[in-house]
Amino acid sequence: MNRPSASWAGRHVLVSAGPTYEDIDPVRFIGNRSSGKMGFAIAAAAARRGATVTLVAGPVHLPTPEGVRRIDVRSAAQMHAAVLAQLPATIYFGAAAVADFTPATVTADKLKKRAGQDTMTLELVRTEDILADVARHHARPTRVVGFAAETGELDGYARDKLQRKHVDLICANRVGVAGSGFEADDNTLVVHGHGIERTLGPASKAAVADALLDLVEQEFADVP
Ligand code: PMT
């Protein structure tokens, strides 16, 4: 973590972090277990290297890293709008756990259970894919880095996302186990790129973030 402080000077690093909350009614939402730690660690590491860093954060309980400009959002739609509004950027790291589906309608009043009601069906609709939209944007960052949170097989899904979302790197991490992924202080990333496969960690999320920035520096000489 002892980087020359200005080695990323002149770069705009855009990071998304944390969960999204998809409101059902005024008191309930669909969320997930992301704490924001991984994305915040990447933002902090980039700022330490002298980059201009914009962090779009879902609802998390973390202090803003030093030297980082933070934009707080709640829903996937808000995160989508906020991230695209921050382009152009040199590199985008999509570390947020964005909801894939959101309720089709948000009721103005709290949903009530009716007498005798044993089940309830919520209609969900797809959210927009922020990572894919950044990757095909006319102001596409020079490099786009996505994440893949998996409970089972890591590599196949990660490689699929690499191709399907037209990104440069996908960082696969295991979730649903202790010591990596959601909420943990440590993580292990299996990073897939075109001709690239590297494992970073297990280590603290701060150390893994620094290793990821090192990898970007080593592999992508074209980043301005
Ligand atoms: O926040 P922490 O507690 O530190 O945990 C870190 C983490 C596990 C959340 C993080 O390392 C991680 O894996 N983030 C991505 C989680 C995720 O939503 O993965 P996914 O496989 O569902 O999505 C793949 C990629 O598409 C991700 O880059 C995601 O940001 C992006 N995506 C997904 C859906 C959507 N609508 N828009 C997106 O941009």
Mean pLDDT of 185-210: 96
32 as an active site residue: the answer is yes
Q: pLDDT exceeding 70 applies to what percent of the chain?
A: 98
| Nearest atom of ligand 1 to the alpha carbon of 131 | 39
pLDDT band at residue 173 using 50, 70 and 90 as cut-offs: very high
Q: pTM for the complete prediction?
A: 0.97
Q: With the C-alpha atoms ordered 167, 176, 41, 19, is the resulting torsion angle positive or negative?
A: positive
Give pLDDT tens digits for 19-70: 999 999 999 999 999 999 999 999 999 999 999 999 999 999 999 999 999 9
What is the atom index within ligand 1 of the atom nearest the CA of 181? Answer: 8
The pLDDT assigned to 4 comes to 56
Q: Tens digit of pLDDT for each residue in 116-162? A: 999 999 999 999 999 999 999 999 999 999 999 988 888 888 999 99
pLDDT above 60 (res 2): no
Looking at residue 177, its pLDDT comes to 87
The per-residue pLDDT for 154 is 83
CA gap 68, 46 in Å, rounded: 9
Which range has the top average pLDDT, 2-6, 83-87, 163-167, 218-222? 83-87
Rounded to whole angstroms, the Cα distance separating 176 from 105 reads: 29
Type of residue found at 3:
R
Report the pLDDT value the prediction gives residue 3, as an integer from 0 to 100: 55
Which tokens in the block code for residue 29?
A: 């939402």
Name the nearest CA neighbour of 73 among 51, 98, 48: 98
Which of 92, 131, 171, 186 is the pocket-test mutation for ligand 1 (most atoms within 8 Å of CB)? 131
Element (DSSP H or E) covering residue 162: helix 155-164
The pLDDT value recorded for residue 64 is 98
Q: Using a CB cutoff of 8 Å and minimum separation of 24, what contacts does 186-191 make?
A: 187/38, 190/154, 190/155, 190/158, 191/215
**pLDDT in the model for residue 139:** 98
Distances (CA, A) of 123 to 117, 120, 215, 216: 17, 10, 42, 40
Q: How far is the CA of 97 from the centre of ligand 1 (A)?
A: 4
Residue 37's pLDDT is: 98
**pLDDT for residue 17:** 98
